[in-house]
Amino acid sequence: MTIDALQAGFSNSIFVVDDDLFLNELFCQFLQSKGFITHSANSLGEAVNVIETEKETDLILLDYNLGDGTGLDFLAKLKLVSENNMPPVIMVSTNEDPVFLERCFEAGVADYVIKPVNLSLLALKVSALIRSVALQRLISLQNIELARFKQEAEREEAVAKFTYEYLLRHNSQVIDGVNLWLKPSTSFSGDIAIAKVSPGGDLFFLLADATGHGLSAAITVMPVVSIFNTMVTKGFDLQPIVIEMNRKLVRDTPHDRFVAAIAVQIEKQRNEIHIWNGGMPTAYWIANGEIAQQFKSRHMALGILEDEQFDANVETWKMGRDGDFFACSDGLLEEVNAQGECFSKERLLDIIYSDPDDLQADVINALASHSGASSYRDDVSVCILTPALIPAASYFLQDEKSSHGHIEEELSDFFWQVRISGKKLSNCELPPLCNKFLQHIGVKQSFCQIVFLIVSEMISNALDHGILRLDSHMKEELEGFSRYFQEREARLARLTNADAIELKLRWEPKPSGAQLVVSVEDTGAGYGYSDAWLQRDDLLSGRGLRMIKNLSRHVEIFPPGNRIEAVISTT
């Protein structure tokens, strides 16, 4: 609402108080000719009675000498009646003494005219004061409206913050060896860092940084959290998770919104770390104060490219026995001090090379010292993963065998099979598909987790060694490990419809306890296998089969080596 609009809504009512009947009538007629509404009083007593019974007036034209009192006496009464909403008063008098005028203004007079009154000047003063009153009322209304909006915003922010924190709290796990530190620049953080363990025992980690900061950034990043949690829980590998997060953001967020992210999958069973870095600062593998490997951003951020242009290929690296994975958001490197100097990558590397006992704490303290401020210009995240401290898959499966001993007795026998061939094998999703089926028919989660882990290893072996014919021994050396995955990508690109993997599940209820028979067969020529090879703990390539053997009642590989069957007991 504008001042003019507000003023137009006024009654434009002026109260004329003068004991001179002629002047009183003159003032009223003149002001009426200017479009104002007037009412009048001819004495102090009458004027007081009017303001006590009729409080609606926009301005008072007050004569000082009223016969039964003075204008100052009236002002004292007016203050009591109007409280904090006293209309402006123009005092009319023949007295020009500065001391007298000072007393008038101290009593609350807004303006003053000297008798004989110049009517044109009076009209200007009245119009100016009426406009001033309109402005004050507009400001008052706007303040009330602003206070209401502020209260509503605070309530909505409280609800949004609860939802945001609930989402993060229920989509992440507290895991040994996973140290996450986030410092938001406002009530909400556009950075999120979450870690979760898959049904197969792999650790998944996501550090994401949405455009901007505050509530808008937090809203942008929420769909990423939900998809990440859901797909990790279902057992998907890193690549399809990244694809789906990007697809969701492209479809459902504005074009100027995107999310830079580092997504990580750690397979302790195989000593492998898989990383996708899209638009985030370089991440590092640090061992003994040295940077053993850098994981630079090789992709566009999430939410920019359509599926056809989006690259979800992950970088795979063989982890050493000791070391830490370090990742941060750009808020760390770009925080400036009083001199306008950034914290910088160089300062971070100096801290890393100093080999501190607590790298995360040293980085955080160095940032605080550099900034000298209690809050930062952007959201800041500093995250460290220490795989040696992260529990192995067996930890997350502890007591699972005993806990699934009472699977629903009414579950009758069933047979389920699925076959995938050709290019679909590149993003083989049989393990999560199997997991979803078992959960749907009522198999308990604890048993599903065992099955998921076994099926994952079977499918991985069938694809890598049965169909792609990759040599496992390549992974026993660091150079060979890298070459192994390069060759794997090349062979995946050459898959045809003749290449296929078939998964079969057969549920067998028995008086002594039910069992599930899992069979995986590929169209390859078969791969080598021996009991002696299985017993060697030093070979990376045999660990998956040994785990299958440990989790199953019976395991058999059929000649020529392209079909494996495992019997998993519920007791």
What pLDDT was estimated at residue 8? 54
Q: How confident is the model at residue 404 (pLDDT cuts 50, 70, 90)?
A: very low
State pLDDT tens for residues 198-243. Answer: 888 899 999 999 887 677 777 888 889 889 998 998 889 999 999 9
How far is residue 502's CA from residue 519's CA, in Å, rounded to a whole number?
8
What pLDDT was estimated at residue 185? 84
Single-letter residue type at 371: S
What pLDDT was estimated at residue 542? 55
Domains defined for the chain, CATH in brackets: 3-140 (3.40.50.2300), 171-393 (3.60.40.10), 399-569 (3.30.565.10)
State pLDDT tens for residues 264-303. Answer: 999 887 889 999 999 999 999 999 889 999 999 999 999 9
Angle at 193 between CA 305 and CA 303, to 5 degrees: 10
State pLDDT tens for residues 355-385. Answer: 999 999 999 999 999 998 878 988 999 999 9
The mean per-residue pLDDT over the stretch 411-416 comes to 86
Alpha-carbon distances of 431 from 233, 413, 505, 527, rounded to whole Å: 12, 21, 12, 21
Mention every residue, 6+ apart, whose C-beta is less than 8 A from residue 399: none
Q: Is the pLDDT of residue 174 over 90?
A: no
φ, ψ (nearest 5 deg) of residue 500: -150, 155
State pLDDT tens for residues 510-541. Answer: 887 888 999 999 999 886 555 444 454 444 44
How far is residue 46's CA from residue 311's CA, in Å, rounded to a whole number?
87
Please report which helix (H) or strand (E) contains residue 192, including its range: strand 191-197
Q: How confident is the model at residue 411 (pLDDT cuts 50, 70, 90)?
A: confident
Task: Please provide the DSSP assignment of 415-484 as one string.
Answer: EEEEEEEGGGGGG--HHHHHHHHHHHTT--HHHHHHHHHHHHHHHHHIIIIIIS---GGGGGSHHHHHHH
How far is residue 561's CA from residue 299's CA, in Å, rounded to a whole number?
38
What pLDDT was estimated at residue 511? 80
Q: What is the percent of the chain with per-residue pLDDT over 70, rounded to a whole number?
A: 88
Alpha-carbon distances of 483 from 152, 478, 489, rounded to whole Å: 59, 9, 10
State pLDDT tens for residues 22-35. Answer: 999 999 999 999 98
Single-letter residue type at 545: L
Selected residue with higher pLDDT from 570 and 417: 417
Q: Which of 460, 348, 373 is nearest to 185 (CA)?
A: 373
**Strand bridging mode 380-385 / 324-328:** antiparallel
How far is residue 459's CA from residue 127's CA, in Å, rounded to a whole number?
87
Mean pLDDT of the chain: 85
Q: Is the pLDDT of residue 416 over 50?
A: yes
For residue 116, whether the previous peptide bond is cis, meaning omega lies within 30 degrees of 0, is: yes
Q: How confident is the model at residue 420 (pLDDT cuts 50, 70, 90)?
A: very high
Angle at 383 between CA 453 and CA 295, to 5 degrees: 75
Q: Is the pLDDT of residue 159 over 80?
A: no
What pLDDT was estimated at residue 501? 95
What pLDDT was estimated at residue 54? 75
Specify the 3-state DSSP secondary structure of 30: helix
State pLDDT tens for residues 116-127. Answer: 989 999 999 999
The mean per-residue pLDDT over the stretch 146-151 comes to 86
Bridge partners for 262 per DSSP? 207, 277
Cα radius of gyration (the chain): 39
How far is residue 44's CA from residue 178's CA, in Å, rounded to a whole number?
82
Q: Is 41 left (phi over 0), alpha (psi -120 to 50) or beta?
A: beta
What pLDDT was estimated at residue 266? 94
Q: Look up residue 347 and give its two tokens.
A: 């300062």
**Strand bridging mode 554-558 / 563-569:** antiparallel
Mention every residue, 6+ apart, whose C-beta is less than 8 A from residue 492: 425, 426, 468
Q: What is the percent of the chain with per-residue pLDDT over 90, rounded to a whole number?
A: 42
For residue 560, whether the previous peptide bond is cis, meaning omega lies within 30 degrees of 0, is: yes
Q: How far apart are the first and last CA of the chain?
A: 76
How far is residue 134's CA from residue 137's CA, in Å, rounded to a whole number?
5
How far is residue 13's CA from residue 31's CA, in Å, rounded to a whole number?
10
Q: Is the pLDDT of residue 308 over 70?
A: yes
State pLDDT tens for residues 82-111. Answer: 777 788 999 999 898 899 999 999 988 999
Q: How confident is the model at residue 543 (pLDDT cuts 50, 70, 90)?
A: low
Specify the 3-state DSSP secondary structure of 288: coil
Q: Are 318 and 285 in contact (CB under 8 A)?
A: no
> Furthest-apart CA pair in the chain: how many Å?
125
Q: Which residue has the tokens 């995946």?
A: 492
State pLDDT tens for residues 433-481. Answer: 898 898 888 888 778 888 988 998 899 889 988 999 988 777 666 566 6
Single-letter residue type at 534: L
What pLDDT was estimated at residue 444? 84
